[in-house]
Amino acid sequence: MDAQASSARLARLARDYRYILPGLPLAVVSFGLLVPLSVLSIGTFVIWLGALLMPMTLFLATSLADLSRSRLRDWGRPVARPRYRPTQKSVTGLMRVMTDPRRWLDLVFEAIIAFPLRLITFVLAVTWLGVALGGLTSWFWTLFIPGEQSEGTGWPLLLELIAPELAPETALGMYVLDSVINVLIGAGALISLPWVIRGIARVDGLITQTLLGGAPSAAGTGRPSGSPYSAPALAMSANGWAWVSTGFTAVILLAVTWPVLASVHGVHPAIAMVLALTQSAALVLAVRWAGGAGSVILLSALGTMLATANLTGSDPAPQGLWPWPVTTLIAYCLVIVVIALRHHWLWAAAVWSAGAVLTVGAFLVIAGEIPDGGLANGIVLASISAGLGMLAILGRLWMRNLGRAERAERVSAEELQRRRDLEERNRIARELHDVVAHSMSVINVQSTTARYRKPGIPPEIQQEFDDIADSSRQALNEMRALLALLRTGEVPTAPVPTVADIPDLIEATRASGAQISYSGPDTAVSPAVGLTAFRVVQEGLSNALRHSPGSTVDVTVATEASAVTVQVLNSAPVSDEESAPGSGLGLAGIRERITTVGGTVEAGPRAEGGYRLYARIPVNGG
């Protein structure tokens, strides 16, 4: 068992490494292709060249995303290819690709998220393996590192091994101690390597699966449901993508703003950290809380203005970077864009207006005058933020109108399908009425008028005609209810058969000469369960009369704590007459009816001859 477990662990480790290591080269290729193409498409959009390049970029991003999904499936985590909007082979159809949000999400993942994610997992996986191998072999390779004797390594140690009288006595002891420590670290890293690499691969797989699509059932993955790599289906909604993208951007903004404020603008590192954190927090808040995000970014901008202002005259602020440093300007514009995309346009307009007022106030109150380059800085802020905010507002309105158009098309398609279904049901209803209902009406009329058309009929034969008339009349009533359901799609309000109607059904069947015994339930059951039990008994009696003429039939309906059981037993036929043909649809219908409510059906021949039909109907299912 230990050998099998070790072999399985090594196979899983190799599989995890096969998933992690190729991820970084593929992410580098995705980043190197998609980012320049996206920038080129956006930059040339004004001359309509970008309108042709951007769909190609989105198609490329989808192909790379499909490659990531294929790698996930090969590794063992189920992920399905999401639905994309259908495309047409025309210029208009090509440009409609840009209206597919799913393709844009693929582009964001492959161009922005995949590279840092795969870089981190690659470095961690390689580093952990390097620590394990390096620690276990440190006793050998440290001999060849030049160093001082006090370090216990390098050529002085070789000198001690060759000529001890020429080297210090402490070198060998330090070498042994360092080697033992390194070997222990390497052994610990090697022992934990399968679990660490598995955890790294799972984190990568979970993030990729969450952002690139949902997971199908295990049946479609080729792996059993109990696979250690199986995971619950996760699907990233638009709201989830908003949180992920803004959070990722906020982390990058924090990593850039802090050192820029500290090094370029001379802000104290602690103050720079606080300002960078507030700007990043404002970007995340903008997803959910427009007023809070606007207040935080404006307060952070005010603090940045005070921290970078040349109030003492000792260290002048960089020309053209006050009152809005580049990182603060970017954070402010991003907050406005997120607010415009997620909230009413008045919030974005209010934040922009407050930023313009804050710029004027900085000139009048903080600086007392407009510094060199300050006017240009303020104009750049106002123009860029206004333009981006306007584009975001128009984009939000466009996406909302597009969503409304899609919903209208979907409703129209559903209405058209409903109309087609109704027409098909009406056609079926007409066929049933013309064929079955007409024939049943003829049978009813003939059996009812037999006493008038054939005077002198014996009483026992007349009773047969009356039973036929009653059965045909009941069949006509049920047929009319079925026709009404097919024509209108509404369940008829007429009474339906229940367990209480089973004795009448048996009496009507006995009129055909069959010997039937019946045992009913001890307690009342719900109408829905009673209808199902009635249909089971009806089908069992019909099969017995059709396929086993002259047999005895035993019908039992019993109630249990949580279910109603129905059993119809018939003996072997007493005559060799050919049985009436059947379509086999009756039992299939019974199975579908009972399976729908969570019950079970057993049907088959008996060892002593005859047939057995057994059904168990849950009470809760009714």
pLDDT in tens, 476-489: 777 777 777 666 65
| Structural tokens at position 552 | 């005895």
pLDDT of residue 297: 93
Q: Which residue's entry shows tokens 């160093």?
A: 147
pLDDT of residue 489: 58
| Structural tokens at position 449 | 């008028």
Residues 213/123, Cβ–Cβ less than 8 Å: no
Question: Cα–Cα distance between 385 and 288 in angstroms, integer?
Answer: 20
Confidence of residue 299 (pLDDT cuts 50, 70, 90): very high
Confidence of residue 581 (pLDDT cuts 50, 70, 90): low
Confidence of residue 525 (pLDDT cuts 50, 70, 90): confident
Q: Which residue's entry shows tokens 């090594």?
A: 10
Sorted by sequence, the CB contacts under 8 Å of residue 562 that are 6+ apart come out as 618, 619, 620
pLDDT of residue 320: 59
Nearest alpha carbon to residue 212 among 69, 75, 374: 69
Measured at the alpha carbon of residue 334, what is the angle toward residues 306 and 311, in degrees to the nearest 5? 10
Question: Cα–Cα distance between 447 and 63 in angstroms, integer?
Answer: 72
pLDDT tops 80 at residue 72: yes
pLDDT of residue 338: 92
Distances, alpha carbon 337 to alpha carbons 102, 328, 359, 393, in Å: 20, 14, 19, 8
pLDDT of residue 87: 74
Question: Cα–Cα distance between 37 and 53 in angstroms, integer?
Answer: 7
Q: Which residue's entry shows tokens 């008339």?
A: 469
Looking at per-residue pLDDT, the higher value among 463 and 274 belongs to: 274
pLDDT of residue 127: 93
Amino acid (1-letter code) at residue 284: V
pLDDT of residue 224: 37
pLDDT of residue 578: 54
Per-residue pLDDT averaged across 597-610, rounded?
85
Length of the chain: 622
Backbone angles phi, psi at 478, to 5 degrees: -65, -35
pLDDT of residue 540: 86
Residues 197/13, Cβ–Cβ less than 8 Å: yes
Q: Model pTM greater than 0.85?
A: no
Question: Cα–Cα distance between 200 and 206 in angstroms, integer?
Answer: 10
3-class secondary structure, 289: coil
Confidence of residue 238 (pLDDT cuts 50, 70, 90): low
Nearest alpha carbon to residue 211 among 233, 243, 248, 241: 241
| Structural tokens at position 65 | 């995303």
pLDDT tops 80 at residue 143: no
pLDDT in tens, 370-426: 777 778 888 888 899 999 999 888 888 887 877 777 778 778 888 888 888 777 877
Confidence of residue 232 (pLDDT cuts 50, 70, 90): very low
pLDDT of residue 423: 79
Amino acid (1-letter code) at residue 569: L
pLDDT of residue 172: 63
Question: Cα–Cα distance between 522 and 387 in angstroms, integer?
Answer: 79
pLDDT of residue 494: 55
pLDDT of residue 234: 37
Q: Per mean pLDDT, which of 69-83, 266-280, 444-458 is the most reliable? A: 266-280
- Among 35-44, 349-358, 415-424, the range scoring the smallest mean pLDDT is 415-424
Nearest alpha carbon to residue 172 among 200, 201, 143: 143
Per-residue pLDDT averaged across 346-369, rounded?
87
pLDDT in tens, 263-273: 888 888 889 99
Confidence of residue 464 (pLDDT cuts 50, 70, 90): confident
For the chain, what percent of residues have pLDDT higher than 70?
A: 81
3-class secondary structure, 556: strand
Task: Give the rounded distance of the alpha carbon of 152 from its chain centre.
Answer: 58
| Structural tokens at position 332 | 């402010």
Q: Are strands 552-559 and 515-519 parallel, antiparallel or unpaired?
A: parallel
Per-residue pLDDT averaged across 547-564, rounded?
85
Question: Cα–Cα distance between 351 and 297 in angstroms, integer?
Answer: 9
pLDDT of residue 402: 72
Q: What is the mean pLDDT of the chain?
A: 79
Confidence of residue 576 (pLDDT cuts 50, 70, 90): low
pLDDT of residue 53: 87
Residues 33/60, Cβ–Cβ less than 8 Å: yes
Dihedral angle of Cα 128, 133, 136, 141, to the nearest 10 degrees: -120
Sorted by sequence, the CB contacts under 8 Å of residue 118 that are 6+ apart come out as 23, 24, 26, 27, 204
Nearest alpha carbon to residue 309 among 267, 356, 358, 279: 267
Q: Which residue's entry shows tokens 């790698």?
A: 71
pLDDT in tens, 203-225: 898 888 888 875 343 333 334 33
Q: Which residue's entry shows tokens 């639905």?
A: 83
- Among 202-211, 365-374, 606-615, the range scoring the smallest mean pLDDT is 365-374
pLDDT of residue 166: 46
Burial of 178: CB neighbours in 10 Å, binned 0-12, 13-18, 19+? middle
pLDDT in tens, 163-214: 555 444 555 666 677 778 888 888 898 999 999 999 999 989 888 888 887 5
Q: Mind giving me the DSSP string for 111-170?
A: IIIHHHHHHHHHHHHHHHHHHHHHHHTHHHHGGGS---GGGT-SHHHHHHHH-GGGS-TH
What is the Cα Rg of the chain in Å?
Answer: 40
pLDDT tops 50 at residue 227: no
Residue 48 φ/ψ region, left for φ over 0, alpha for ψ in the -120 to 50 degree band, beta for the rest: left
Confidence of residue 149 (pLDDT cuts 50, 70, 90): very low
Confidence of residue 249 (pLDDT cuts 50, 70, 90): confident
Amino acid (1-letter code) at residue 84: Y
Distances, alpha carbon 304 to alpha carbons 52, 275, 323, 324, 530, in Å: 42, 7, 8, 8, 77
pLDDT of residue 226: 37
Question: Cα–Cα distance between 286 and 335 in angstroms, integer?
Answer: 6
